[in-house]
Amino acid sequence: MILTGQSPFFGEQSILSGFPLRPHPDAPIPDMAAGLTEILEEARLSARALMDYGSHLLNPTVRLGVTGLSRAGKTVFITALVHGLLRGGRFPVFDALTTGRIATARLEPQPDDAVPRFNYEGHVHTLIEERRWPESTSDISELRLAIAFQRRSGAERTLTIDIVDYPGEWLLDLPLLDKSYERWSAESLALSRQQPRATLAAAWHAHLATLDPLGREDEQATLTAAKLFTEYLRACRDERFAMSLLPPGRFLMPGGLKGSPALTFAPLDVAADGTPPGRSLWAMMRRRYDSYKSIAVRPFFRDHFARLDRQIVLVDALAAFNAGPTALRDLEAALAGILDCFNVGRGSLWSALFRPRIERILFAATKADHLHRSSHDRLEAILRRMLDRAAMRAELAGASIDVVALAAVRATREAEVQRGREHLPSILGTPIAGEQAGGETFDGETEVATFPGDLPTDLDSLFSDNSTFRGLTAAQPDESDYRFLRFRPPLLEHGPDETPALPHIRLDRALQFLIGDRLE
């Protein structure tokens, strides 16, 4: 465990001071409107907290948030975790299971009618029967699990676990609540002028240069700007660049808001402390940015994020290694942003009711099965180092934090491959059809042994500003220092009425940290 301790910051900070709730820019009496919104918001939050608290007394519940940027491994993680609990997985470190204190685990109807149910059965079928990874998901979803267990004292209890799967991109939006349109524009533009982003932003920048922020509002120009800006964000996310810090999150993960005016805006080159004239392009962009915050960001915080007790943040650090040093630095900046959200979200005027909220946060480097066992500890150390640096910036303390390198579903086995006199620690697996390495394209059926590259042990030089390992951003695939192939899920032999256990790496450690104490 790395960063623990109680923060005075959490105890005293209120949601109101942490996230000043901004009035609509055209609102007639801004201060009074803001005050009213704040009171309503607090009232709603506290009513929800009371309701949650009441049901918690009758029925102990843990709300576990599972998040991570797109493709980090959220769906696979939840599927494997629930499968392991329902079926009884091989979880030696998960104490309640190994000591035989879990009697049954079953799925139950979820509590929130407006949230889609996590398609657990479909995902298990795809993984085990079809040996395919589940399709990409882009919205929030939820699943409720009830575990009947025996406490260490012998008393019989039921623990309800609500698992909430939400896109990490939405979490990175929370800092926007505290940011004006002008400041957000300035920051987004500054970031987009650094390489490799600047090249990817060329088309959007060229269009931006034709816009007059003080000119009349113009729907078509706004639509084009939003489209080009979204394309730039999408290009940054491509695996060659693997950038992480790409707000506003709904531009890439719109959920139910696709095509709405609240998603139709883009940064303009305006003074960070300026005020737009009425009916100008600038005023229109600013209005929509504010709508985005009130329609997308604030409800997400109020209805989902503020109600979580535990959180796992899944991080695909290997994708950043594939891409190169800039992607790694970008990931670190995104982690700092995520830590900031946990700081801001904890306190409130009604903190006695809210507390404890997000008491435990686990940062997990996923897909560790792409590496030989000898590199698992290194992957964990690299993530820990990124978080330590991010935590310094984010002044984080208050919740228990742990770090783990895991594979929710282990798609590979280990082997040693001899190259000349060297024995290379390698992995064996079936690359997905179409994956390429060493000039070969794989057919999705053949098992191969690969040596993916050892992760570095010298973290100082890895994180130094002139770190120069080669990734896909700057080099051809065969010249890059790391090349992590994607493998198919493992082949699991099983009879017609048998449910096979899913192999994993350290999933049990994650479970123990996240809910082990609630099953004591």
Ligand X SMILES: Nc1nc2c(ncn2[C@@H]2O[C@H](COP(=O)(O)OP(=O)(O)OP(=O)(O)O)[C@@H](O)[C@H]2O)c(=O)[nH]1
Contacts with ligand X, residue ranges (CB under 6 A): 68, 70-76, 133-134, 136-137, 167, 366-367, 369-370, 407-409, 411, 486-487
In this structure, the strands spanning 156-167 and 61-68 are parallel
394 touches 340 (CB < 8 A)? yes
**φ, ψ dihedrals at 298, nearest 5°:** -65, -45
Give the orientation angle of helix 376-394 with respect to helix 325-344, to 10 degrees: 50
CA-nearest of 75, 78, 76, 74 to 410 is: 76
For ligand X, which is the closer residue by CB, 75 or 473?
75
Closer by beta carbon to ligand X, 137 or else 260: 137
Say if residue 150 is exposed, middle or buried (CB neighbours under 10 Å; 0-12, 13-18, 19+).
Answer: middle
How many CA within 13 A on the CB side of residue 320?
29
Instruction: Give me the amino acid identity at 45.
Output: L
Shortest approach of Mg ion to residue 75 CB, angstroms? 3
Asked whether position 75 contacts Mg ion by CB under 5 A, the answer is yes
Which class for 72: exposed (0-12), middle (13-18), buried (19 or more C-beta within 10 A)?
Answer: buried
The separation between the first and the last C-alpha atoms of the chain, rounded to the nearest angstrom, is 19
For ligand X, the closer of residues 182 and 435 by Cβ is 435
Choice between 71 and 518, CB closer to ligand X:
71
Window of 33-41, 129-137, 168-176, 476-484 that interacts with Mg ion by CB under 5 A: 129-137
Q: Which amino acid is at 34?
A: A
| Shortest Å, Cβ 157 to ligand X | 31
Kindly state the smallest distance separating residue 441's Cβ from ligand X, in Å: 17
What would you measure as the largest C-alpha separation in the chain, in angstroms?
A: 78
| Nearest to ligand X of 314, 396 (CB atom) | 314
**Binds 133, which of ligand X, Mg ion, none (CB < 5 to 8 A, cut-off by type)?**
ligand X
In the 3-class helix/strand/coil scheme, how is 426-447 assigned residue by residue?
A: EEEECECCCCEECCEECCCCCC
CB of 72 to ligand X, least distance (A): 4
The size of the interface with Mg ion (CB under 5 A), counted in residues, is: 3
**Tokens, residue 175:** 């800092």
Shortest distance (Å) from residue 257 CB to ligand X: 16
Q: At its nearest, how many Å lie between ligand X and the CB of residue 140?
A: 11
Quick one: 76 or 519, whose CB is closer to ligand X?
76
Give the integer Cα–Cα distance in Å for 104 and 113. Answer: 25
> Which of Mg ion, ligand X, none does 158 bind, CB closer than 5 to 8 A by kind?
none
- The item of ligand X, Mg ion, none sharing an interface with residue 63, based on CB under 5 to 8 Å by kind, is none
The least distance separating ligand X from the CB of residue 344, rounded to whole angstroms, comes to 23
- The set of residues, in sequence order, having a beta carbon less than 8 Å from that of 373 and lying 6+ positions away, is 414, 425
71 binds, among ligand X, Mg ion, none (CB under 5 to 8 A by kind): ligand X
Instruction: With H, G, I as helix, E, B as strand and everything else as coil, classify residue 10.
Output: helix
Q: With respect to ligand X, which residue has the nearer C-beta, 297 or 409?
A: 409
Closer residue to ligand X, CB minimum distance, 349 or 449 = 449
Find the part of the chain contacting Mg ion (CB under 5 A) among 73-81, 167-175, 201-209, 447-455.
Answer: 73-81
The rounded distance, in Å, linking the Cα atoms of 469 and 48 is: 49
Q: Which among 134-142, 223-231, 260-268, 454-462 is the span making contact with Mg ion, rule CB under 5 A?
A: 134-142
CA gap 250, 22 in Å, rounded: 20
Interface of this chain with Mg ion, residues 184 to 213, rule: CB under 5 A = none
Pairing state between β 400-405 and 360-365: parallel
Residue 124 C-beta: closest distance to ligand X, Å: 13
Residue linked to tokens 């992995």? 427
**Which of Mg ion, ligand X, none binds 144 (CB below 5-8 Å, type-dependent)?**
none
Angstrom distance (rounded) from CA 365 to CA 34? 40
* Nearest residue (CB) to ligand X, 319 versus 361: 319
Nearer to Mg ion, 244 or 343 (CB): 244
- Comparing CB distances to ligand X, the nearer of 68 and 516 is 68
Side chain identity, residue 229: F
Which of Mg ion, ligand X, none does 287 bind, CB closer than 5 to 8 A by kind? none
**Residue 476 touches which of ligand X, Mg ion, none (CB < 5 to 8 A by kind)?**
none
> x-or-dash pattern for Mg ion, window 88-127, by CB under 5 A?
----------------------------------------
According to DSSP, the β-strands at 310-315 and 156-167 are unpaired
Least distance (Å) between residue 166 CB and Mg ion: 10
Q: Residue 374 in contact with residue 335, Cβ under 8 Å?
A: no
On the question of a cis peptide bond just before residue 30, with omega within 30 degrees of 0, the verdict is: no
Instruction: Say how far apart CA 224 and CA 345 lie, in whole Å.
Output: 35
Three state DSSP letters for 228-241 = HHHHHHHHHHCCCC
- Of 69 and 358, which has the nearer Cβ to ligand X? 69
Could you say which of Mg ion, ligand X, none residue 364 binds, taking C-beta under 5 to 8 angstroms by partner kind?
Answer: none
397 in Cβ contact with 346 (< 8 Å): no
In the complex, minimum distance from the CB of residue 368 to ligand X, in angstroms, rounded to a whole number: 8
Least CB distance from residue 333 to ligand X, whole Å? 19
Cα 464 from Cα 47, distance rounded (Å): 48
**Stretch (H or E) spanning 192:** helix 181-192
Candidates 37, 137, 260, 291: give the one binding Mg ion (CB under 5 A).
137
Min CB(280)–ligand X separation in Å: 37
Contacting positions for Mg ion (CB under 5 A): 74-75, 137
